[in-house]
Amino acid sequence: MRPHLFILLLALFAPNTWAAWPAERPIHLVVPFPAGSSPDLLARQVADPLSKALKQSIVIENKPGAGGNLGTRFVARAPNDGYTLLYTINGPLVTAPKLYQKTLGYDPAIDLAPISLVATSPNVLVLGAALNLNSTAEFVQYARNRPNTLNYGSVGAGSAAHLAMELFKQQAGLELLHVPYASFPQITTAMLAGDIQAAFMVPAIAMPQAKVGKLKVAGVTSLLASATLPGVIPLAAQGFEGFEAISWHAVLAPAGTASATLLRLQQVLTEILATPDIQDKFSAQYFSAVGSSAQVLQALMQTEKTRWDEVMARLNLSLD
């Protein structure tokens, strides 16, 4: 047997004896968002079983700033020795390259190596209860009769909530006014006060208010019904064919990281994400634990980039 083939087979079929991380130092899992944020919480839930499976210490390193771009850039420029990994959401991977063409400082398709999806979550279309509307169809008709008089909120230009509503406006033929806020809690406060009438929001913020009747959830942004949001009908099934605007988390490494290291991480992550314990923990936060191959993650990144690039180009949107 050729020597290089023997080494590869050893890496694939004897992972417990193969040393991908020979140095006695921890793996740094960089989360480009603050401690306590959704990606931080889910990363910490994954890090413990990942550390045990790899028999390797893992340190969560929060590097927030610029919507996740600063920490993502840090990993893109880090040594590709397997000791620095990235846990991030979709924004820095699919919308940031278009929004910050001059200043981003990294290209996800070139500078990062995909490992695995970790989690997906739909957003929800939320309406102010004061509108007294019971469905997406009622809202669309109401808004069409009042062009440029209704406001919708987002967490800023180029955010997932902003782009999702702009895509929905295009499909539904609506003219709504955009009002940016600093956070989803501020959007909730504004909607309860009647300052805005609609928004796409993360379920963890919207659902507690909806359950007590203060807000109306009119639809979910996944193509299919979500197990974490029973009874909420996808917008794609309400006459808006193909509408999708999900949030997702993934793990990546600096480009050039050894393929055997990437494969070992992918295999272990997929096993961890299939466990009932992780499935339940993620579900409690309205996320579905979803492991994948690197190829599936790479394809998702490209599909999402194409979708949102088209929306941003139509808006002539740049944040440079």
- The overall pTM is greater than 0.85: yes
Q: What is the CATH number of the domain that holds 68?
A: 3.40.190.150
Final residue of a structural domain among 205, 237, 269: 237
User: Which residue, among 170, 147, 166, has the nearest Cα to 156 in the 3D structure?
Assistant: 166
Residues 59, 157: one domain?
no
190 is a domain residue: yes
Per-residue pLDDT at 21: 83
Final residue of a structural domain among 190, 212, 237: 237
210 is a domain residue: yes
Q: What is the CATH number of the domain that holds 189?
A: 3.40.190.10
Residues 204, 306: one domain?
no
Residues 81, 104: one domain?
yes
Per-residue pLDDT at 19: 53
Final residue of a structural domain among 237, 264, 279: 237
Per-residue pLDDT at 11: 47
Q: Which residues of the chain have pLDDT under 50?
A: 1, 3-4, 6-8, 10-18
Report yes or no: 193 and 216 within 8 Å, Cβ to Cβ: no
DSSP 8-state code for residue 141: H
Per-residue pLDDT at 2: 52
Structure confidence by residue, pLDDT tens digits, 100-149: 999 999 999 999 999 999 999 999 999 999 999 999 999 999 999 999 99
Per-residue pLDDT at 14: 43
Domain count, the chain: 2
Structural domain of residue 145, as residue ranges?
124-237
**HSE-up of residue 60 (Cα within 13 Å, Cβ side):** 22
